[in-house]
Structure 1
């Protein structure tokens, strides 16, 4: 591949400053071509205003451009592959969040239901690093200040990843809030949280920002990444990033989505490299809004979950996002005791330890998260994990 010629082509294509609202992700069919080209691009970007519009994404060996794919067909002759840089929405509550909660309950019902408090004499998630790719977090929240590290703001690199939406703060609270005197306690109250702001105030992000968030989490040694968002369409570049995390020993926990679909779940939960999470209500029944299929690995509390909210408040929210944060916290409890577990082993232990759904006509398949069973099975577990990585959403059976 002629890297110099490709750089000249990119300069020409980007000379007009890009197309408003257009974004495309470019990667190379041959990984070595991508590695070499990104090295050349890095050397030239500082001297070319046009090339600075090309954002390197090293975890996939590619880059993103503010141009439509139709404008980039000349790149195909250089061994490039093109994918639209789609917009992704956080898996927001359905319906919208309730009014502020004034509950004085220190331990929310979901944390109690999964039996996390009974495990705190053995593990509280200490030294486990969790990346939360979301809308940021409220750094001043009294329930969260103990757990927060700087993280990164992918939308404004010079700024802290402050939450201007609320969703990320709610997720963080369920994972590791700890304020027993006045506030709430999350599943793993001594977990180290690293907020990764990829989503804007409307709860929207581009696939490229999410991939850059995964890249950051791999590079900074996260043990777990919480991804409480999804999209209905498969993305090859997102799969490549998820695969890279999996190979690096980073577990991704993802929400199945809130459209009430049967037989198909959102991506990235639809990739077998992730832990796919569905939501339960307070009765232990699958919530009506949950997308479900045989690809679901585990169900967890997700209906009317009380957690942290910006400006020191708390709020009730419902969604598979809330269920996902319970699972992330549970895995943090596990990894504090068994830090050497691979993502594949953790997935296997989660599925094997799940409690069968205990109501009439409950669907067969994934069960309910139970922290004590999780730790018990992990203690007994030996050998490798089952499962073949890949796309598991297509053709999955309805539950």
Structure 2
């Protein structure tokens, strides 16, 4: 019979190492390091810290040393990918981007509360304030609108419909989001005098104005495309004519709002002057604290339309403002056949782009 006799030895367990950052109270303490079974990977003299491969069973001992300030994992980080907001995707803007069309060379003025000038995801080329002084945003509305039009394609944050347009902030609303018709007229005049191609007005009032209509007409006659939010005075049933001004004027493209399920946002205004629909519910965009957040309203739908117009115009700079407008309407996805609630349908950047390059 074969008898197996134990040798008295056992297999040694492998030592488990942890990659940690060790910070010291007063300079890097070489004695503490030498008294461990670990290995120094990097040293950072300017913060009195080292990166070490340290045996797991010695971490607690290292932490308890009086000259050790902290021992923390050398945690993994990953690239923060750029988010494509659902509205940008729904209007098929990425399909146009894939053909290297980003709105280059088109000048867009955003008549609003201003734009945050130092937001890392926006490149503001210039602007104007009807109140005098800075056109920097002190409310947040204008910055959110601007991001939907032109947030940069830079691998972080969000991307806008037309990220390479020349973006201008025209402050016509104050820190409370309030302004006057005369202020809007002044902003339109500035846009005309400074060679803008598109005016985005995510604002409106409930009372008509001959002077405001004349200003919108003058801008259109001068070759600019004027785009405005239809208003948030709609109701659940979609009844009534409640489009606001200046969207209601024939010279202005009135933009209503849809949800991610392709239905009219319940707040979106309705009526015979409604021209086009775009995403406007829970839209992620840039914020005036330098970050990102979601807002809802036809104010959020309007910049989708302005951004698509920029893509169309950039693809064929020989188009007139009326031709750009016609292309957007003719190429829209009319899945509802209900003009008073949905206008000519949901704006489609890719279809409009195909129309433009074959025009």
Shorter-chain TM-score tier: 0.7 to 0.9
Moved over 3 A (4+): 358-365
For residues 299-334 of structure 1, what are the alpha-carbon distances to aligned partners after superposition, in whole Å with 9 as ceiling and x for unaligned? Answer: 000000000001211111000010000000000111
User: 2:144 aligned to 170, 173, 178, which one?
Assistant: 170
Counterparts of 2:175 and 2:90, CA distance in 1 = 32
Change (3 A) 1:365 1:256: closer
Q: Is the 8 A contact 1:142 1:179 kept in 2?
A: no
Larger Rg over CA atoms: 2
Counterparts of 1:272 and 1:313, CA distance in 2 = 36
Instruction: Report matched runs for 1:61-76 at 5 Å.
Output: none
For the pair 1:148 / 2:124, whether they are aligned, the reply is yes
Aligned to 1:59: none
Counterparts of 1:380 and 1:136, CA distance in 2 = 36
Superposition deviation, residue 232 in structure 1: 1.3
SS in 1 for 2:311: helix
Superposition deviation, residue 180 in structure 1: 3.1
Counterparts of 2:340 and 2:198, CA distance in 1 = 30
Counterparts of 2:185 and 2:322, CA distance in 1 = 21
Aligned to 2:87: 110
Counterparts of 2:331 and 2:286, CA distance in 1 = 29
TM-score (norm 2): 0.73
Counterparts of 2:315 and 2:338, CA distance in 1 = 35
Aligned to 1:234: 208
Change (3 A) 1:360 1:345: closer
Aligned to 1:321: 299
Counterparts of 2:90 and 2:329, CA distance in 1 = 17
Aligned to 1:189: 163
Instruction: Report matched runs for 1:295-374 at 5 Å.
Output: 295-357=273-335, 365-374=343-352
Superposition deviation, residue 183 in structure 1: 1.1
For residues 349-383 of structure 1, what are the alpha-carbon distances to aligned partners after superposition, in whole Å with 9 as ceiling and x for unaligned? Answer: 111111012599995742001111111223344xx
Superposition deviation, residue 178 in structure 1: 1.0
For the pair 1:258 / 2:246, whether they are aligned, the reply is no
For residues 338-357 of structure 1, what are the alpha-carbon distances to aligned partners after superposition, in whole Å with 9 as ceiling and x for unaligned? Answer: 22322222221111111012
For residues 255-286 of structure 1, what are the alpha-carbon distances to aligned partners after superposition, in whole Å with 9 as ceiling and x for unaligned? Answer: 01001153230011101111110000000111
TM-score (norm 1): 0.66
Change (3 A) 1:348 1:325: same
SS in 1 for 2:152: coil
Alpha carbon RMSD of aligned pairs, Å?
2.0
Change (3 A) 1:119 1:361: closer
For the pair 1:119 / 2:99, whether they are aligned, the reply is no
Counterparts of 1:240 and 1:318, CA distance in 2 = 30
Aligned to 1:209: 183
Counterparts of 1:258 and 1:104, CA distance in 2 = 33
Gaps of 5+ in 2: 1-79
Q: How many residues align?
A: 275
For residues 79-138 of structure 1, what are the alpha-carbon distances to aligned partners after superposition, in whole Å with 9 as ceiling and x for unaligned? Answer: xxxxxxxxxxxxxxxxxxxxxxxx976110100111101101241000100010000011
Higher relative contact order (CA 8 A, sep 6+): 1
